[in-house]
Amino acid sequence: MTGGSWPQASLCLFSGALLGLLFLACKLLRVMLGLGRLATALLDLAFCLTCGLTAFLCALVLDQGRLRLFQAALQLLGAWGAVAALDPLIEGTARLLRRAAGRLRRALGRPWSFLRGKWAKSFPKQPRKPAKRKKTGRKRKKPKKPLENLT
């Protein structure tokens, strides 16, 4: 590497690290919101388009639009470094936030369940009446009389 390529390498590493952080942000968003398959696919599509645009812009800035192997490799290395370093932190944060949201939901739901229980006790359930059988509308066939003397 020459002295002029160090800034290019650092730009590629930095942009790769930012893409890794964007991936982790998308992962945290997906876990916290409990997105379905369609929303996850759309989020992944947006992330991939962002990665492609970033690689294109870096190639445009560094070498008039030609993507070199060292640019792509350094971006991948930067993204891998950010994800490998911060993924356990993101997983722990997501777990804590889900647990806190569950506790908050239960704490806010307790008064309502208490009131719902009081309300139900004030109006005891009436025994259900047996359901009436529906008439099918078909008439019973009368048995045929045997043929008598045909002679």
Flag whether the pTM goes above 0.85.
no
Residue 149: predicted pLDDT: 64
Q: What is the 3-state secondary structure (H, E, C) of the chain?
A: CCCCHHHHHHHHHHHHHHHHHHHHHHHHHHHHHCCCHHHHHHHHHHHHHHHHHHHHHHHHHHHCCCCCHHHHHHHHHHHHHHHHHHHHHHHHHHHHHHHHHHHHHHHHHHHHHHHHHHHHHHCCCCCCCCCCCCCCCCCCCCCCCCCCCCC
Residue 21: predicted pLDDT: 94
Q: Which residues of 87-110 are buried (b: 16+ CB within 10 A; e: fewer)?
A: eeebeeebeeeeeeeeeeeeeeee
Kindly list the averaged pLDDT for each block of 10 residues, start to end, along the chain of length 151: 74 92 90 82 92 88 79 90 92 87 81 65 70 68 67 57
Residue 105: predicted pLDDT: 81
Nearest to 79 by CA among 6, 33, 25, 4: 25
Nearest to 70 by CA among 118, 22, 8, 27: 8
For residues 80 and 25, what is the distance between their CA atoms, to the nearest angstrom?
A: 14
Residue 130: predicted pLDDT: 74
